[in-house]
């Protein structure tokens, strides 16, 4: 059913003035939340006139979201890391009054290395957080000397210490680099069968916290200025962090 602009505006006013949660009010009115928040977004941007029917332009990218919304979704995912993509989409829509789909949330989480790590549990969660850090800050050249391009900096540094250096360079101190080294040793012992006890809750929390800080710092870094290439960026982190470790 296609509603005229006057009825859309009336529905918006009813929801705004209702003492009930928006979901309950919309259910009573028989209006899908996705439809309502599409109207409401247009209303906030262009006033009542924007509620008039407008056929979609062929060149419009249907699933593109504004940069500010993108950043808010990632921020919510980091703050509420226990929520699934569907729960994040519902929470964001309810709190921000801006509809986003589960598919959109999944796409953003995958792009920022969050989808696997922040949805796992127990040992899987621990391992996934370490993988998140290494996927974000590691290079193939760390483990394959044949892939290194001269000048290799700092020359002779082992792969684990290169990761420590980048973590320190990104987060600004040695303590985070030492945390990564500790987590790396725990992961190695577990995978190779040397550890006879389960990974503790404290260790899982440490892994989650460090992964979150790395992801947040990377997002801020990409927003602060243009980065020539991933390798150049990671090399600069290593140059900055190597003296700290």
Residue-wise pLDDT for 9-48, tens only, equals: 888 888 888 777 888 888 888 888 888 888 888 887 778 8
Give Dmax (Cα) for the chain.
71
The reply to whether 78 and 125 lie within a common domain is no
Let me know if residue 62 belongs to a domain.
no
Q: Is there a contact between 127 and 186 (Cβ–Cβ < 8 Å)?
A: no
Owning domain of residue 214: 119-244
Let me know if residue 60 belongs to a domain.
no
The reply to whether 88 and 162 lie within a common domain is no
Asked if residue 62 has pLDDT above 60, the reply is no
Let me know if residue 93 belongs to a domain.
yes
Asked if residue 151 has pLDDT above 80, the reply is no
Gyration radius of the chain's alpha carbons = 23
The reply to whether 93 and 169 lie within a common domain is no
Gap between the Cα atoms of 49 and 42, Å rounded: 9
Coil vs helix vs strand at 1: coil
The reply to whether 131 and 224 lie within a common domain is yes
Let me know if residue 59 belongs to a domain.
no
Mean pLDDT of the chain: 79
Asked if residue 120 has pLDDT above 50, the reply is no
Let me know if residue 56 belongs to a domain.
no
Number of domains within the chain: 3
Q: Bin 94: left if φ > 0, else alpha if -120 < ψ < 50, else beta.
A: alpha
The reply to whether 221 and 144 lie within a common domain is yes
Let me know if residue 130 belongs to a domain.
yes
């Amino acid at each position: 059913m296609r509603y005229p602009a006057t009825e859309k505006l009336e529905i918006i006013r009813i929801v705004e003035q209702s003492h009930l949660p928006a979901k309950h009010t919309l259910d009573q009115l028989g209006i899908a939340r996705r439809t309502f928040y599409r109207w409401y977004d247009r209303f906030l941007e262009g006033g009542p006139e924007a509620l008039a029917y407008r056929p979609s332009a062929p060149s419009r990218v249907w699933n593109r979201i504004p940069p500010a919304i993108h950043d808010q979704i990632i921020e919510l995912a980091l703050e509420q890391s226990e929520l699934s993509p569907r729960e994040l989409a519902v929470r964001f829509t309810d709190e921000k009054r801006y509809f986003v789909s589960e598919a959109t949330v999944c796409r953003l989480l995958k792009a920022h290395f969050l989808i696997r790590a922040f949805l796992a549990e127990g040992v899987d969660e621990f391992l996934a957080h370490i993988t998140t850090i290494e996927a974000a800050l590691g290079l193939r050249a760390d483990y394959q000397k044949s892939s290194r391009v001269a000048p290799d900096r700092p020359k002779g540094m082992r792969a684990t210490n290169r990761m420590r250096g980048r973590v320190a360079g990104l987060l600004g101190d040695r303590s985070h680099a030492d945390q990564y080294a500790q987590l790396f040793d725990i992961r190695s012992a577990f995978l190779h069968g040397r550890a006879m006890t389960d990974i503790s809750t404290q260790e899982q929390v440490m892994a989650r916290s460090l992964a979150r800080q790395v992801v947040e710092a990377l997002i801020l870094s990409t927003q602060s200025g243009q980065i020539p290439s991933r390798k150049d960026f990671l090399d600069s982190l290593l140059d900055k962090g190597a003296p700290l470790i």
